[in-house]
Amino acid sequence: METYIKTNETHFISDLNVETVDTDKNVEIVIDKNKEYFECDICGETFFQKLLLKKHFHSHTKEKPYSSSACNKEFFHKGHLNVNHRTHTIEKPNSCDVCGKGFSQRRDLKVHYRIHTNEKPYSCNVCNKDFSHVSNLNVHLRTHTKEKPFSCDVCQKYFSRKYSLNVHFRTHTNEKPFSCDVCHKDFSHKSSLNVHFRTHTNEKPFSCDACGKKYAQKVDLKGHYRIHTNETLFSCVVCHKDFSRKSHLNEHLRTHTIEKPYSCNICHKNFSHKSNLNVHFRTHTNEKPYSCDVCGKGFCHRGTLATHYRVHTDEKPFSCDVCHKDFSRRSNLEVHLRTHTN
């Protein structure tokens, strides 16, 4: 079988006993009548092997005859089952000769190798941005076309990437397949687990070029940087207060609505911020993920650890405007100020 792009209305084909079959993708398939082809009864697509037709037919029947004995996941094709099997057996026969990282498929190794060579052979014809993988280019192009071909069956929300749809769908199923090895907290997204894990390692890979302050998340660095540029993109429609981050605006808006959308599933106490719920939940689990590296005392909140640390450094950042006495905690200063007002 031979394919070519249809460029005009006139075509010349010689030396073959052929017929042309139009398709709905503006591509003509040239079929040699001297060979046997197998046609799909449903859509009319032709194949030169009966096995390929059989595999194609599963796309109409939605039948997935190949099932993984490890995770019970089902597949249309045996090749896809074999790839899945390697994720369970950790079989990675293709190894990078630069960093030693292993891959189950040679094509994945080839794509990975571009990290070392910085090769980006795929370029966007709109903005000229370059990509190392054609799939990344295709996803990027949707930022220009605003195309969102993947739809959620539950809420009909649309997405530009199938991966984003799969992650979103977990909000309906409450599936959290990624678990922290340290505290066993579960996450619906692998990137969320990676960010969370930095609370245990105290890793902060993102650094501000202006002041050197470090952050565990890139989005936090981006929000912080607006302090230096004095950029305020988000404004409150009620009091017109400006914010550098949308999340801060959303949190602020709840001071007007008194909305508390986050509820503890143990004591049913409600909170306006998810971070406050997470901190509160540690009162039930007795989890204390923040530990003092001087005395080893554990704390459930990072701010409490920072306050405690002043015991060791003798830092007293809060000063009385009346008598200039210094305090390590703001609450102690407020108690002290009452001695002057009385």
- Asked whether residue 137 is assigned to any structural domain, the reply reads yes
Q: Does residue 61 fall inside a structural domain? A: no
- 217 near 205, Cβ under 8 Å? no
User: What pLDDT sits at residue 48?
Assistant: 65
Q: Is residue 131 part of a domain?
A: yes
Residue 247: predicted pLDDT: 78
- Asked if 98 contacts 114 with a C-beta cutoff of 8 angstroms, the reply is no
How far apart are the C-alpha atoms of 151 and 338, rounded to whole Å?
A: 60
Cα dihedral angle (300, 303, 308, 313), rounded to 10 degrees? 140
Question: Would you write out the chain's pLDDT as a tens digit for each of its 342 residues?
Answer: 333 333 333 333 333 343 444 444 333 334 445 556 677 777 777 766 777 777 677 667 666 777 777 677 777 667 677 767 766 666 677 888 888 888 877 888 888 888 888 888 889 998 999 888 888 888 888 888 888 888 888 888 898 888 888 888 888 877 888 888 888 888 888 888 888 888 888 888 888 888 888 888 888 888 788 778 877 778 888 898 888 778 788 888 878 887 788 889 899 998 887 888 888 888 888 888 888 988 989 888 888 888 888 889 888 888 899 899 988 888 888 899 889 876
Give domain status of residue 56, yes or no: no
In a domain, 53, yes or no: no
Count of structural domains, the chain: 1
What residue numbers bound the domain in which 137 lies? 122-173
The model's pTM: 0.36
Within-domain flag for 127: yes
pLDDT for 14 equals 34
Where helices occur in the chain by DSSP H, the ranges are 50-61, 78-89, 106-117, 134-145, 162-173, 190-201, 218-229, 246-257, 274-285, 302-313, 330-341
164: domain CATH number is 3.30.160.60
> Would you call 314 helix, strand, or coil by DSSP?
coil
Q: 302 lies in a domain?
A: no
The pLDDT assigned to 17 comes to: 40
pLDDT at 290: 86
Tokens of 211: 């002041």
**How many Å apart are CA 51 and CA 277, to the nearest integer?**
55
**Is 254 contained in some domain?**
no
Burial of 197 (0-12, 13-18, 19+ CB in 10 A): middle
SS3 content of the chain, % helix, strand, coil (to 5): 40, 15, 45
Name beta bridge partners: 116. none
